[in-house]
Amino acid sequence: MIKTIKLTKKYDDMYAIRDIDLDLGQGDLFGFIGPNGAGKTTTMRIIATLLEPTEGEAYVCDYSIYTHPKEIRRLVGYMPDFFGVYDDMTVIEYLEFFAAAYKIGPQLRRKRCNEMLDIVDLDFKRDAYANTLSRGQTQRLGLARTLLHDPAVLLLDEPLSGLDPRARIEMRALMRRLGAMGKTIIVSSHILPELADVCNKVGIIDAGKMIASNDVATIIKQVQPNTVVLIQPIQASQLDAAAKTLQDQNIVDSVQIASDLVRVTLKPNIVDYSALASELIQRGIFFSKFAAEEINLESAFMAFTKGAGAKI
């Protein structure tokens, strides 16, 4: 659905993006992660045929951005990070205006607008003026506008930015629903944890370079290749005994005591560590916590970029 090959945009001696490679299939929900100015918007605008690259190629549904920009624009819905609404239009008038711009016929237009209001859960505001909506409602209206022509590909630039917690939850739910409908979605954000449970693939970009791109589990595995298990004995006096017991197990690489926890790093490729729990119980060491340490996308981003230029 979306493929880019060494996509590059250069302004004089400065690279906005450099050698960006993407390969996304139908239904993929790709999280584009990076700080402001990293190159996310530039990449999305090139894919949407709103900006020409300096070098490289991009395809949308097998159409080249160079030879078939009109066809691509029919297939793509692009939602910029900031967009204006018309003060003197109600929500339904606003959508009908853009439906007409998309050349949706009069008989289908109102039906299509009503469907989009239902999808984004904004029907109760249909007769309100667009400029009276909250930030979250405005974002949902922008998404409804983006969906009017039923695009196969969605490019959502910072759709979670500036939203309150409830609005972010609602927007994430909407993205999951759209992905389930088979749409291919690129969503950019610097709110890293927000994307972990939404996207099936992520790309980490910094200073115009894609420094990691894969499914979420693989990205996290690259940050921490060995599973780390956190164990909290019920009795704090058993911390040392638990550590010694675990250190002697053949699947364990190293053991550390951190506060009231035993932090156990397993040897590479160990996926079954239930024997550790059995061994502790047999020795009379009971625990209130026994779980693998979670590494989120924020940790992954910082590990890949080493914090360079990343103000997140």
| Chain segment 206-255, per-residue pLDDT in tens | 889 998 898 887 887 777 778 899 999 999 999 999 999 999 999 999 99
Q: Are 243 and 257 in contact (CB under 8 A)?
A: yes
Q: Which pLDDT score, from 0 to 100, does residue 223 have?
A: 73
CA distance 251 to 277: 13
The full set of domains in the chain, from first to last, is 2-217 (3.40.50.300), 225-292 (3.30.70.100)
List strands edge to edge, sheet with 252-258: 252-258, 261-266, 228-233, 287-292
Q: Which residues of the chain have pLDDT under 50?
A: 307-312
Q: What is the predicted pLDDT for the residue at 306?
A: 67
Q: For residue 296, what pLDDT is reported?
A: 67
User: Which pLDDT score, from 0 to 100, does residue 245 have?
Assistant: 95
